[in-house]
Amino acid sequence: MRYKIKRPIISFLLILTILTILPLHVQAQPDEQVQPDVSAQSSILMDAFTGTVLYEKDADSQMLIASTTKIMTALVVIENCNLEDTLTVKTEYTLVEGSSMYLKAGEKLKVRDVLYGLMLSSGNDAAVALACHIAGSIEDFAEIMNAKAKQLGMSNSSFKNPHGLDTDGHYSTAKDMAVLTVAAMNNYDFAQVVSTKSINVAGRYLTNHNKLLWKYDGALGVKTGFTKSAGRSLVSCAERDGMRLVCVTLNAPDDWDDHSALYNWGFENYKYECPIKKGQVIAEVPVISGQEDTVQIVTEDGMSLLLGDSDTVETVINAPKFIYAGIESGQNAGSIAVIVNGEVVQEIGLIFNGDAKLDESESLTFWEQVKWKINNVISEKFAIFN
């Protein structure tokens, strides 16, 4: 059998590393974090970038959501019309009860201006005007709202109107509202409106009802809500040091303090870590009968995790201990599984970083050619967990 491996020490080191569990971030398990005691009947704290739930309390309970409904209303409006369009106020828009931006029959306003009245002043008149402008009726607009909810995976939500006044069959959950808000805050126009403290539009001076914009450092919005049956509802978003969190409290007598406490707890106890970087060298493997002695195996993509102080992170690498020449750069070389607290959270592909061309002076025997073909078939199918 004829082949060459000029650096046998590499193979020895590789055996010690490949196909083993490599801890990247291992910490002793401290006492369980002391979570905030909140007044809300239902609440959640979610990381906006990864969707990780940091805290929840009855977050899947179906609840009345009052004017936080307008988060969905605003997102649907933004996605279904030009914000520079003009709408004409009809008399019936002005007759809806509750909070108002005080629209006048016959008035013509830009959709963008009415959005500010919807989200800052919580105008129920604005909600009806926008819904009818988009769909022609509240009922047809509600169908669009529910279609959007389904698209976002809000499986425990049902919308009957654009303003959130108590109606049979109109409800959501803290978790669903957090999912909605994460999506909405990724929309530039939405985020711009809800982060505005006050503004002059359409001859009106509007002030945002969301006191967190003044009270909490890093607050970005989003929406307040209240009815006697629903109690105080609040959905908010805050960002510090590159970490963005979304908080939802439903039926919360002390909602401002609830949100501040949950944010403080979240920012203090969690941080982003990057256990894997794109292009990170995982191993350098020997090449049999190649023009080069070795070829690097690197990660195809990178990933970041939101981790608490008690979380442990490990990786399991599945890759060949050596290869036969004939590999091209970018070809699949296996995979690496990222495990947090014993559960696989993501798998990252591995690729060869460079060609491994055959050295014609070191031609393979028949059986070496068979092994070469088997090796390359296997390398195309590496997986850790099926």
Residue at token pair 């009802």: 209
261: phi then psi, degrees, rounded to nearest 5? -65, -40
Q: Which of 175-184, 249-258, 310-319 has the lowest mean pLDDT?
A: 310-319
DSSP-assigned letters across all residues of 144-199: HHHHHHHHHT-TT-B-S-SS----TT-BB-HHHHHHHHHHHHTSHHHHHHHT-SEE
Binned at pLDDT 50, 70 and 90, residue 29 comes out as: very low
pLDDT digits (tens, 9 = 90+) for 189-227: 999 999 999 999 999 999 999 999 999 999 999 999 999
Q: Are 103 and 194 part of one and the same domain?
A: yes
Q: Of 177, 195, 210, which residue constitutes the final position of a domain? A: 210
| Predicted structure pTM score | 0.73
Q: Of 192, 210, 228, which residue constitutes the final position of a domain? A: 210
- Does the residue 116 lie in any domain? yes
- Amino acid 196: pLDDT: 98
Q: Are 178 and 289 part of one and the same domain?
A: no
Q: Under a CB-based contact definition with an 8 Å cutoff, are residues 107 and 87 in contact?
A: no
pLDDT score of 377 more than 50: no
Binned at pLDDT 50, 70 and 90, residue 257 comes out as: very high
- Does the residue 261 lie in any domain? no
Mean pLDDT of 87-93: 97
Q: Are 177 and 282 part of one and the same domain?
A: no
Q: Are 286 and 371 part of one and the same domain?
A: yes
Q: Could you give the residue numbers annotated as active site?
A: 67, 70, 122
Q: Are 202 and 66 part of one and the same domain?
A: yes
- Does the residue 222 lie in any domain? no
Q: Under a CB-based contact definition with an 8 Å cutoff, are residues 149 and 180 in contact?
A: yes
CATH number of the domain residue 304 falls in:
2.60.410.10
Q: Under a CB-based contact definition with an 8 Å cutoff, are residues 206 and 116 in contact?
A: yes
Q: Under a CB-based contact definition with an 8 Å cutoff, are residues 118 and 73 in contact?
A: yes
| Strand (E) or helix (H) holding 35 | none
- Does the residue 92 lie in any domain? yes
Range of the domain at 69: 59-210
CATH number of the domain residue 113 falls in:
3.40.710.10
Show Cβ contacts of residue 63 under 8 Å, excluding neighbours closer than 6 positions.
41, 42, 171, 172, 173, 174, 230, 250, 251
- Does the residue 2 lie in any domain? no
Q: Which residues pair with 258 in a beta bridge?
A: none
DSSP-assigned letters across all residues of 249-284: EES-TTHHHHHHHHHHHHHHHEEEEEEE-TT-EEEE
pLDDT: which is higher, 116 or 271: 116
Q: Are 205 and 133 part of one and the same domain?
A: yes
Q: Are 196 and 281 part of one and the same domain?
A: no
Q: How many domains does the chain have?
A: 2
Q: Of 193, 210, 227, which residue constitutes the final position of a domain? A: 210
Q: Are 63 and 164 part of one and the same domain?
A: yes
- SS3 label, residue 225: strand
Q: Are 200 and 68 part of one and the same domain?
A: yes
Looking at residue 14, what DSSP letter applies? Answer: H
Mean pLDDT of 29-57: 84
- Amino acid 326: pLDDT: 85
